[in-house]
Amino acid sequence: MSLNPPDTTAGLTGKIESREMRIGIIGMGYVGLPLALQFSKERFAITGFDIDTQKVETLNRGESYIIRIPGAEVQGALKNGFTATADYSRISEMDVVIICVPTPLNDCREPDLSFVTGTVTAMAPYVREGQLIILESTTYPGTTEEIVVPLLEQGNPAQLRVGRDAGSRGFFVAFSPEREDPGNDTVERRDIPKIIGACGPVALTLASAVYATIFNRTIPVSTPATAEMTKLLENIYRCVNIALVNELKQLCMLMGIDIWEVIEAAKTKPFGFQAFYPGPGLGGHCIPIDPFYLSWRAKQFEFPVHFIELAGEINSAMPQFVVDHVSQALEQRGKGLQEARVLILGLSYKRDIDDLRESPSLTVIDLLQKRGAHVEYNDPFFASVGAGRKYSLNMTSTPLEKIAEFDCVVIVTDHSQYDYPSIVKQAQLVVDTRNATKGITADNLVRC
């Protein structure tokens, strides 16, 4: 059953056509679980690996812990042979292993690859000849060949090496960055082109064949580092442009100009302009993090990336900008921020999703609390929130019926479930960071 070179390509093709290819996906989070379900819909028997035993148990019961993924999808996958496990020894049963684990920043805003290195070290003893290993986690150029490959080779008791050419007898390695956009219902996942870079032509052929079963188009590139840089470019492009409109927003406020009206007018140009929008800060796993991954890597080449670092700094400063305006708005009404009751609307990092990763709401809450405010939140996707990697809220969602009791309501995430005219009517003061109250005029409404 192994993908044994030199007939690896033909063997895998046969397994794809017969749906006998066994795929293991490590990391059952916002990237790994949707990917597992996508392969399962093509009738592949998928094994999901995760060190979180609670996630494993939940999935094996046919339940989901991600709101945008209904339990029925997990149940359908179970019928197609999907199973979840925390047992890494089962890696040896897989033909293909795809790694989808987090790559956050540490407290010094440097790459934290501990999830990747920990995963690769744990799986290395069970890697076998002919397997295809694919990393999907966003990272800096060089990670796949400089970190993942050596760890797999050093940790393999059979002393297998990465196979790079036809006839190679070892395992194969590729990098294919995830392109998830939670909450986006306008683009089908299979219509998102799949970038693939690999350690040699055999691995590239194998990875392309695997992904072609669930994506309508695969985009092969010359090396893993090229694919790694492609992912960073995509997100840094967004980061830089969002930083631009965030800075312009602050200038427009001083000049008495509505930045939202400016953007709407500018985007009527049919060429040379793409609309980006300001906000309270960046969230999600990629856009707030990727600029710092690249700037850290660039330092190793003694190349300063001033432009990219500045964009990251502007976006990182936006939560403080919001808090300052909340303070100013309260002071204008004779109320100090210290001891003020503030209600945050929306915890997730963007509209209509249940994802707290790098959410600016968490930073806004932390900054408000440090300045003495009594802070509560409301979010239709989070009845309660405890502790995470960067926060420890231990709070429950406050009912909207209590809005009038707060000195200030801050719209940080503009969920579509909110009735904004009603919120403005009930609240003593509203600070809107998302232009969610567009078209509403009220004395108690401040936009920032």
Active site (catalytic) residues: 286
Burial 348-365 (b: 16+ CB within 10 A, else e): bbbebbbbbbbbbbbbbb
Q: Which amino acid is at 199?
A: C
Strand stretches in 191-349, DSSP E? 194-198, 218-220, 341-345
Distance CA 235, CA 282 (A): 11
Q: Which two tokens stand for residue 280?
A: 């309270």
DSSP annotation of 430? E
CA triple 319-324-329, angle to 5 deg: 125
> What are the residues facing 24 on neighbouring strands?
47, 97
- CA nearest 38: which of 6, 71, 77? 77
The sign one gets for the Cα dihedral 321, 327, 330, 331 is negative
Q: Which long-range contacts (CB under 8 A, 24 or more apart) does 189-192 make?
A: 189/34, 189/38, 189/214, 190/38, 190/214, 190/215, 190/216, 191/216, 191/217
Q: Helix, strand or coil for residue 411?
A: strand
